[in-house]
Chain A
């Protein structure tokens, strides 16, 4: 503990000496002016040099943030020309193939943006690409957070906010997809009308209220427009602000490593390095989106033509983030109940209303479920390697598998064309696979994690394989192992021990570990269930070696090295590896500490 605190002071002083401004001239004057009115100095003192750890996976959320900014900018541009109206007009723009065709003003203005406003098509395509990237990056950010255990206390609420952002982002995407009123978006809205009508009791009424009467009516696009440009962006902005404030308050998690503990955060200061990297990344995200908009055609509305309720095209699919419920809808058997005078369309209601709601709730509750199972009430700021939480990792991989299978179902027609197979067979296969696949994925992932844990222990105890084969005096061959570098060994071994609990009650580590974890004494039937789930959760989890095992192994290794050293004069190979302190000498610190 003391060692890294001295490190801190050392680093901090050298750093501050580098950062002291030589002349507090204009910057100082401006800061003074602002502080006298806003009192910003107190906040600035705390936050300007706030530390952010540096790792590529910590920047995935930033992709989402910057995509959102791109969406705001390009979206505002589009609103300057887009007319959210369903009044029918004859198209009279510059696209010949649709000249004179009756279409809604929304569609006509989308064509105008695409063909008659310079840069309009670019902005439209950037907006659409950015929307796809926004949701995709939120999802990979979510996966990173979950796989590394960053959702644990105290960050559960930020997980909830993140999930809400994902949900709102998806809804925002769907409303945007529906606005141009081309054949694809109209088909999507029509399907949405079918979804709504399938809701028991209130569905028909909700549909009539939403559409201002019968589908398609003249109200839906103006209404979706308001939701798309005002309501949801407002909520997104507020939630993103809350998400970021909590991030600042909690400080970022970090990977375990030398000098990195649960009590500190090691990294670069906000000003200048982190600000530069984050700011630079904004330009990069914006730039990549622009290049995508320049070169990759997306939603070519002119090819679809205006929406006409009597027309349809093959490949009528939603954008990718709505693909999985659409896939569930495709593989659901056609079950409908007729109860008295009423109809319940399970074939629509279950896959498109119940299933997404259910899975979203599961996602939302994951941190709380995990905390309930483990009984862990401590704060966690060091990330876990996915292998060190096999059940958690396997749970998410199972969910991903489920998502992926539904996703595949959503593109079953495209898969059928690309792989020359039958949609019917693909559908039958997926009907079974969505139940079996996640289970298989869970089991396999869990076993892989446990195997990797064993591998880590093996490395800690016996070192890594050098590939050098040694021959002993009596002719036996063995491979030479060298110890793992101390930084690595330290990073691997700071993880928790003592999760092993028995069904009977207290953990095998004894009552003290239980107290440290803050687990209350189990009571009642629910507690019994919890004990059982917990036992399953930790079943086969490989613990890191004990200090004794480690000492024993090192002793053994040194003995072997001594034996081998004695043979050095005779061995024809392996000379270059003979200095078993080789890895130590690579690291001056270890030498310094001893």
Chain B
């Protein structure tokens, strides 16, 4: 309910957005969860498909695309000796589905330590259907609305303050894994924290909310929704930031700087040294008096 209240507050602050009512309602439905909510008809006229249709369609997609790992009823599958094939999705919420399927991480192409980001398999509508289906199983975090992560509508001062706050939260909670530029970093046993440089703000929000793969959850009790928005504002401001000092060299810190010092720096200097000491062309002719 906290999220609902928050959304209502934020919507009242930003009345400009159309369709806010729809989002609000949708979130309310998803949050209260359960089949009851799922089967109640959508009240908006411009949405052609009912919630029930979405859930039903989502279930069909699930059975063909996901059930082989996550089980017929998304209860999760393990092998006889207890090895997990796919975790239970009951209660992971629509946000988790939107993140995993919306970034192409799911369905996985092959089993591995971590599901890499790849081109999406399902289109937007199908992702929404899958999300609706999984959300119908048990309550879980809902897909955030644009108000949750977008800084649009903030005044310059508000935005600036949000970026400053977000930077501190980012440096405290995120950089340890994702690196100071958001370029990503290594995790144990071949895992990695992916780069945030291209990630959609919605997906960043969902990742914090749901903790995909081996990432921690930063629930709303941990990092409040406003603070999540601040973090996204900071990440976006860093993306837009020009290279004040030149090209970023991958943003990996001293290791890449050292590599460039050796390859570009020492390479160029030695090249010049070879040129300086190289023999100049010689003439067959002799100088008048020397000949």
Contact of A284 among B163, B248, B264, B272 (CB under 8 A): B272
Would B246 and A315 count as touching, CB distance under 8 A? Answer: no
Assess whether B188 is interfacial by the CB under 8 Å rule.
Answer: yes
Assess whether B186 is interfacial by the CB under 8 Å rule.
Answer: yes
Assess whether A308 is interfacial by the CB under 8 Å rule.
Answer: yes
Contact of B261 among A56, A115, A136 (CB under 8 A): A136
Q: Mark B191-225, 1 if CB is under 8 A from A, else 0.
A: 01100000000000000000000000000000000
Which of A58, A297, A303 has the most B CB atoms < 10 Å from its CB?
A: A303
Q: Mark A95-138, 1 if CB is under 8 A from B, else 0.
A: 01111110000000000001100000100010001001100110
Would A320 and B277 count as touching, CB distance under 8 A? Answer: no
20 additional A-B pairs beyond A96-B163, A97-B164, A300-B244, beta carbons within 8 Å, are A14-B290, A56-B273, A63-B266, A96-B160, A97-B167, A97-B237, A125-B246, A129-B265, A140-B266, A277-B276, A288-B265, A299-B254, A303-B238, A311-B175, A313-B180, A315-B179, A316-B253, A317-B253, A413-B186, A414-B256
Would A59 and B277 count as touching, CB distance under 8 A? Answer: yes
Q: Of the 9-residue stretches A161-169, A417-425, A553-561, which lies at the interface with chain B?
A: A417-425
Would A281 and B261 count as touching, CB distance under 8 A? Answer: no
Q: Which A residues from 354 to 409 make CB contacts under 8 A with B?
A: none
Q: Which residues of the other chain, A, contact B278 by a CB distance below 8 angstroms?
A: 56
Closest CB of chain A to B124's CB: distance in Å?
30
Q: Mark A58-79, 1 if CB is under 8 A from B, else 0.
A: 1110110000000000000000
Cα distance A176–B179 when bound, in Å? 22
Contact of A98 among B167, B181, B255, B270 (CB under 8 A): B167
Assess whether A234 is interfacial by the CB under 8 Å rule.
Answer: no
Q: Mark B244-260, 1 if CB is under 8 A from A, else 0.
A: 11111101111111111
Closest CB of chain B to A134's CB: distance in Å?
10
Assess whether B154 is interfacial by the CB under 8 Å rule.
Answer: no
Would B257 and A320 count as touching, CB distance under 8 A? Answer: yes
Taking CB as reference atom, which chain A residue is nearest B189? A422
Cα distance A281–B272 when bound, in Å? 8
With known contacts A292-B264, A312-B176, A137–B269 Cβ distance under 8 A:
yes
Would A133 and B266 count as touching, CB distance under 8 A? Answer: yes
Would B277 and A424 count as touching, CB distance under 8 A? Answer: no
Would B262 and A315 count as touching, CB distance under 8 A? Answer: no
Cα distance A414–B254 when bound, in Å? 10
Would B180 and A183 count as touching, CB distance under 8 A? Answer: yes
Q: Mark A298-326, 1 if CB is under 8 A from B, else 0.
A: 11101111001011111111111101000
Would B234 and A97 count as touching, CB distance under 8 A? Answer: yes
Cα distance A54–B175 when bound, in Å? 50
Instruction: List 30 A-B residue pairs with CB atoms under 8 Å apart, sorted by A's residue number.
Output: A54-B277, A56-B274, A58-B277, A59-B273, A63-B273, A96-B160, A97-B237, A99-B160, A114-B244, A132-B261, A140-B266, A183-B180, A184-B180, A277-B276, A293-B245, A295-B246, A302-B244, A304-B180, A311-B171, A314-B180, A315-B255, A319-B254, A410-B255, A411-B255, A414-B186, A416-B186, A417-B192, A422-B188, A423-B188, A423-B189
Assess whether B25 is interfacial by the CB under 8 Å rule.
Answer: no
With known contacts A297-B248, A314-B178, A133–B261 Cβ distance under 8 A:
yes
Assess whether B102 is interfacial by the CB under 8 Å rule.
Answer: no
Assess whether A48 is interfacial by the CB under 8 Å rule.
Answer: no
Assess whether A40 is interfacial by the CB under 8 Å rule.
Answer: no
Q: Which residues of the other chain, B, contact A294 by a CB distance below 8 angstroms?
A: 246
Closest CB of chain B to A364's CB: distance in Å?
24
Would B272 and A101 count as touching, CB distance under 8 A? Answer: no
Would B164 and A101 count as touching, CB distance under 8 A? Answer: yes
Would A288 and B269 count as touching, CB distance under 8 A? Answer: yes
Contact of A100 among B164, B248, B264, B290 (CB under 8 A): B164
Give the size category of A's interface with B.
35 or more
Q: Mark A34-59, 1 if CB is under 8 A from B, else 0.
A: 00000000000000000000111111
Q: Which residues of the other chain, A, contact B252 by a CB distance below 8 angstroms?
A: 315, 414
Taking CB as reference atom, which chain A residue is nearest B253? A315
Assess whether B177 is interfacial by the CB under 8 Å rule.
Answer: yes
A interface majority secondary structure? helix
Would A417 and B184 count as touching, CB distance under 8 A? Answer: yes
Cα distance A96–B70 when bound, in Å? 46
Closest CB of chain A to B226's CB: distance in Å?
18
Q: Which A residues from 254 to 302 make CB contacts under 8 A with B?
A: 277, 280-281, 284-285, 288-289, 292-300, 302
Taking CB as reference atom, which chain A residue is nearest B273? A59
Q: Which residues of the other chain, A, contact B277 by a CB distance below 8 angstroms?
A: 54-56, 58-59, 277
Closest CB of chain A to B14's CB: distance in Å?
23
Closest CB of chain A to B288's CB: distance in Å?
14
Cα distance A505–B234 when bound, in Å? 75
Cα distance A526–B138 when bound, in Å? 81
Number of interface residues of B (CB under 8 A): 61
Cα distance A289–B265 when bound, in Å? 8
Closest CB of chain A to B263's CB: distance in Å?
10
Q: Which residues of the other chain, B, contact A302 by a CB distance below 8 angstroms?
A: 244
Assess whether B111 is interfacial by the CB under 8 Å rule.
Answer: no
Would B269 and A313 count as touching, CB distance under 8 A? Answer: no
Cα distance A437–B276 when bound, in Å? 36
With known contacts A297-B249, A310-B172, A414-B252, A315–B164 Cβ distance under 8 A:
no
Assess whether B185 is interfacial by the CB under 8 Å rule.
Answer: yes
**Closest 5 CB pairs between A and B?**
A320-B258, A314-B185, A422-B190, A297-B245, A132-B261
Would B253 and A288 count as touching, CB distance under 8 A? Answer: no
Would B244 and A115 count as touching, CB distance under 8 A? Answer: yes
Contact of A314 among B176, B265, B274 (CB under 8 A): B176
Q: Which residues of the other chain, B, contact A297 by a CB distance below 8 angstroms?
A: 243-249
Closest CB of chain A to B175's CB: distance in Å?
4
Would B186 and A423 count as touching, CB distance under 8 A? Answer: yes
Q: Which B residues from 138 to 191 make CB contacts under 8 A with A?
A: 160, 163-164, 167-168, 171-172, 175-181, 183-190
Assess whether B5 is interfacial by the CB under 8 Å rule.
Answer: no
Would B273 and A296 count as touching, CB distance under 8 A? Answer: no
Cα distance A304–B244 when bound, in Å? 14
Q: Which residues of the other chain, B, contact A304 by a CB distance below 8 angstroms?
A: 180
Closest CB of chain A to B110's CB: distance in Å?
14
Contact of B246 among A63, A101, A296 (CB under 8 A): A296
Would B238 and A417 count as touching, CB distance under 8 A? Answer: no
Closest CB of chain B to A410's CB: distance in Å?
8
With known contacts A297-B248, A416-B186, A184–B276 Cβ distance under 8 A:
no
Cα distance A295–B259 when bound, in Å? 15
Contact of A285 among B168, B171, B269 (CB under 8 A): B269
Contact of A296 among B186, B244, B264 (CB under 8 A): B264
Cα distance A100–B167 when bound, in Å? 12
Assess whether B68 is interfacial by the CB under 8 Å rule.
Answer: no
Closest CB of chain A to B260's CB: distance in Å?
6
Cα distance A424–B113 when bound, in Å? 13
Closest CB of chain B to A68's CB: distance in Å?
14
Cα distance A97–B163 when bound, in Å? 6
Which of B178, B184, B252, B269 has the most A CB atoms < 10 Å from its CB?
A: B269
Assess whether B268 is interfacial by the CB under 8 Å rule.
Answer: yes
Taking CB as reference atom, which chain B residue is nearest A319? B254
Cα distance A93–B238 when bound, in Å? 17
Closest CB of chain B to A178's CB: distance in Å?
13
With known contacts A101-B164, A292-B264, A416-B186, A60–B253 Cβ distance under 8 A:
no
Taking CB as reference atom, which chain B residue is nearest A312? B176
Q: Which residues of the other chain, B, contact A99 by a CB distance below 8 angstroms?
A: 160, 164
Q: Which residues of the other chain, A, contact B193 by a CB distance below 8 angstroms?
A: 314
Closest CB of chain A to B166's CB: distance in Å?
9
Q: Which residues of the other chain, A, contact B248 by a CB distance below 8 angstroms?
A: 297, 300
Contact of B190 among A54, A100, A420 (CB under 8 A): A420
Taking CB as reference atom, which chain B residue is nearest A314? B185
With known contacts A59-B277, A288-B268, A288-B269, A424–B189 Cβ distance under 8 A:
yes
Q: Which residues of the other chain, A, contact B268 by a CB distance below 8 angstroms?
A: 288
Taking CB as reference atom, which chain A residue is nearest B276? A277
Closest CB of chain A to B256's CB: distance in Å?
8
Contact of A59 among B176, B179, B251, B276 (CB under 8 A): B276
